[in-house]
Amino acid sequence: MENQPQTEGETDHGFRVHIVTWNVGSAVPPDDVTSLFGPHAGDGSTDMFIIGLQEMNSMINKRLKDALFHDQWSELCMDTLSRFGYVLVASQRMQGVLLLVFSKFCHLPFLRGVQTEKTRTGLGGYWGNKGGVSARMTMFGHPVCFLNCHLPAHMRNLEQRMEDFESILQQQQFDGATASGVLDHDVVFWFGDLNFRIEDYDIHVVKSAIDSNKLPLLWERDQLNIAKNSESILDGFLEGPLKFPPTYKFDVGTHRYDTSSKKRKPAWTDRILWRLRCTGSPVPTHNAALQRGLTSWLGGATKVVQHSYRSHMGYTCSDHKPVSAVFSLHFPFKVDLPLVTLEYEKEWTKVSDATVRFTVRSSFQRSSWDWVAIYKVGFKHHKDYVAYVWAKADHGSQIITLHTPTCYLSIFSVTFTEEDLPRDAGEYILGFYSNNMNTIIGVTLPFQVRTLPAVFLPVFSDVSSEDDSTLVLLAPASSRSPSPGKSKHHHRHRRSRSPAHSNTPMPSLQGLSLHPRPLEGLPSSRSPCSAAKKERLVSPQDTLPSPISPLTPRSPVSPGGGVSAPEALIAAILGEHRPTQVTPTGGRSPGKTGETSL
């Protein structure tokens, strides 16, 4: 059967998804989590990594810091996976519950309609220590949803767990007609600390069964396995066999089950399940009869194969052990025609090579907030660029319009300025970011940038010279806003040196350099930046930063830029971000609460 687990060694060529769930128990991240992503994390065989965490440290001071910067767990996951070519697609956090979605950068143009949601169930729905966070998208034309939950604890709360899960499914609604609810998606992955326990047997029987490897004896009394046969809300949810020992509860720092006075009974609280919709996505076509025929002929529904389901017992920083599962998704068809394609020189050795042509399909709705960016291979998310150029929705840069039998194509051109070009030789890619779709919808293959001629400003040895040039230490500074009408290159903008934190103290001298202060009216010369630094992105229509969460797609500011301490403190107390989104016309409108997809 298509939905039964296969062994790790079996060959499969579907779209491979690796899911990790871990209740981290407020612990500080370990130095290395690479093993969570499997032995083949670096060989490119996995297409997408999904990480769901529960019980992250959500004390008020920690939430305030995380509201201004990336949290430590997100940074660790980005640092780990970006080395292997994976980019953060979506992020959603609700107090201690976090969901991260990573994809190979080459898949970005085919992951569309990215949205995130969250539902509180703690304290009757007023507190986010329990509940669910989700990310949904159309993956090569097929709607897929990832749902990370933390359900109520304790043996006696089985009914409350089921009620909370049903409430999460009912409350989480997404924009768009294809899949407005969680269960409307072709594939749903449900995982997290679901807190189901082992009934009837006492702690001694459970531990004895674990020690003697008689796990099937415990499966029969597992609350989730029992509930799947009696609760209609769980209809269709599948899970591989639990061939690993229960992952809760351990003495922190050891591999011993709970020896405290509470003596919690071991249980499989940490789970990964999936569900398929009965009918799959229709084949995209304008002919309804042909659509029905092709859908039926191609098999209709997406198929899921599970390759592995395991725990990672070596981690001891939490009282839970991490759990991971690897799946392959087999789509009956793929929508793999990009909305935007980019043409470029395969090797950049001079400034004139930095002109990029991009072709836009008629079905793509452009925005004045779209942009083309240069990324160094190994970038972490869509704002981790080296430089960008606004791809404004006007006809100033349009070259030609071509008509085809099914649509028309418009070709445009943008050019990077000399000061924007990378100073470090290496491999780079180009990406086209769509503001309307909140994601990168066009990417290139990696290309080489050779050492380009540097841009120099005069260096004055006399710091008191009458031109007022002085040697200054480069502290974090705000980027210049590409304000229309003030510069003939107002649609271009170069990457800021570092995140703009108005109250950030002067860092240590080790990471600073000496640089002449520019003359009045002249921009500062560019200094190379590491790929890990965040950017401050400003719209051509608005010179003011907007107070948005660092990973919010419409947030053209670096972490901390434009977020006041009182606002961040309120967000920390409430356990949410309330972003203010900037419209293409320069006005501000309330954003969707908590949406932090990329």
Give me the residues paired with residue 257 across strands.
250
Would you place residue 346 in the very low, low, confident or very high pLDDT band (cuts 50, 70, 90)? very high
- Residue 260: partners with Cβ closer than 8 Å, 6 or more residues away: 251
Distance (Å, whole) CA 209 – CA 200? 13
State the pLDDT at residue 213.
95
DSSP output for 347-375:
EE-SGGG-EEEEEEETT----TT-EEEEE
Range with top average pLDDT, 18-32, 51-65, 299-313, 414-428: 18-32
Cis ω for the linkage preceding 249 (within 30 of 0): yes
Would you place residue 245 in the very low, low, confident or very high pLDDT band (cuts 50, 70, 90)? very high
> And the tokens for 437?
């779709």
State the pLDDT at residue 468.
36
| Residue that wins the pLDDT comparison between 587 and 455 | 455
Distance (Å, whole) CA 220 – CA 268? 12
Distance (Å, whole) CA 598 – CA 551? 7
DSSP output for 96-149:
TEEEEEEEEGGGGGGEEEEEEEEEEEEGGGTEEEEEEEEEEEEETTEEEEEEEE
Would you place residue 98 in the very low, low, confident or very high pLDDT band (cuts 50, 70, 90)? very high
Q: Please give the sequence-ordered ranges of beta strands (E in DSSP) within 211-287, or none if there are none.
A: 237-238, 270-276
**Burial state string for 437-456 with b = 16 or more CB within 10 A and e = fewer than 16:** bbbbbbbbebbebeebeeee
Would you place residue 13 in the very low, low, confident or very high pLDDT band (cuts 50, 70, 90)? confident
Please determine, for residue 299, whether its predicted confidence score (pLDDT) is greater than 60: no
Sign of the torsion angle spanned by Cα atoms 341, 13, 22, 83: negative
**Burial state string for 548-584 with b = 16 or more CB within 10 A and e = fewer than 16:** bbbbbbbbbbbbbbbbeeeebeebbebbbbbbbbbbb
For 33-49, the pLDDT digits (tens) are 999 999 888 899 999 99
Determine contact, residues 171/147, Cβ cutoff 8 Å.
Answer: no
For 170-190, the pLDDT digits (tens) are 999 999 767 899 999 999 999
CATH topology identical between 15-59+66-284+295-330 and 340-449: no
| Architecture of the domain whose range is 340-449 | Sandwich (2.60)
Distance (Å, whole) CA 448 – CA 452? 11
Q: What is the 3-state secondary structure (H, E, C) of 400-445?
A: EEEECCCCEEEEEEEECCHHHCCCCCEEEEEEEEECCCCEEEEECC
The full set of domain ranges for the chain reads 15-59+66-284+295-330, 340-449
For 206-227, the pLDDT digits (tens) are 999 999 999 999 999 999 999 9
Please tell me the number of Cα atoms within 13 Å of 217 on its side-chain side: 13
State the pLDDT at residue 552.
39
> What's the average model confidence in pLDDT over 376-404?
80
State the pLDDT at residue 172.
96
Please determine, for residue 274, whether its predicted confidence score (pLDDT) is greater than 80: yes
Distance (Å, whole) CA 329 – CA 110? 15
> What's the average model confidence in pLDDT over 18-35?
97
**Chain centre to alpha carbon of residue 532:** 15
Determine contact, residues 559/68, Cβ cutoff 8 Å.
Answer: yes
Would you place residue 438 in the very low, low, confident or very high pLDDT band (cuts 50, 70, 90)? confident
State the pLDDT at residue 10.
42
Please determine, for residue 524, whether its predicted confidence score (pLDDT) is greater than 50: no
Closest CA relative to residue 100, chosen from 84, 80, 120, 83: 80
State the pLDDT at residue 147.
98
Any idea which of 57-71, 123-137, 347-361, 422-436 has the lowest mean pLDDT? 57-71
What percentage of residues in the chain have a pLDDT greater than 70? Answer: 65
> What's the average model confidence in pLDDT over 329-355?
93
> What's the average model confidence in pLDDT over 319-332?
97
State the pLDDT at residue 284.
58
Determine contact, residues 377/426, Cβ cutoff 8 Å.
Answer: yes
Please determine, for residue 25, whether its predicted confidence score (pLDDT) is greater than 70: yes
Give me the residues paired with residue 447 across strands.
428
| Residue that wins the pLDDT comparison between 123 and 203 | 203
DSSP output for 581-596:
EEPTTS-EEEPPTT--
> What's the average model confidence in pLDDT over 6-31?
81
Residue given tokens 């040039």 in the structure block: 469
Query: Hey, is 545 helix, strand or coil?
Result: coil
| Residue that wins the pLDDT comparison between 220 and 597 | 220
What percentage of residues in the chain have a pLDDT greater than 90? Answer: 56
Distance (Å, whole) CA 145 – CA 50? 11
Give me the residues paired with residue 347 across strands.
448
**Chain centre to alpha carbon of residue 499:** 20
Distance (Å, whole) CA 485 – CA 554? 23
CATH superfamily, domain 15-59+66-284+295-330, is Endonuclease/exonuclease/phosphatase (3.60.10.10)
Please determine, for residue 555, whether its predicted confidence score (pLDDT) is greater than 90: no
Written as one letter, the residue type at 422 is P
Distance (Å, whole) CA 401 – CA 412? 9
> What's the average model confidence in pLDDT over 433-455?
85
Determine contact, residues 444/501, Cβ cutoff 8 Å.
Answer: no
Determine the length of the chain.
598
> And the tokens for 90?
């979506």
| Residue that wins the pLDDT comparison between 73 and 12 | 73
Closest CA relative to residue 576, chosen from 139, 160, 3, 92: 92
The region, left, alpha or beta by phi > 0 then psi within -120 to 50, assigned to residue 181 is beta
> What's the average model confidence in pLDDT over 441-458?
76
Would you place residue 320 in the very low, low, confident or very high pLDDT band (cuts 50, 70, 90)? very high
Q: Report the mean per-residue pLDDT for the chain.
A: 77
Phi, psi for 36 (deg, rounded to 5): -65, -25
Please determine, for residue 420, whether its predicted confidence score (pLDDT) is greater than 50: yes
Find the helix or strand (DSSP H, E) in which 48 lies: strand 48-54
State the pLDDT at residue 473.
28
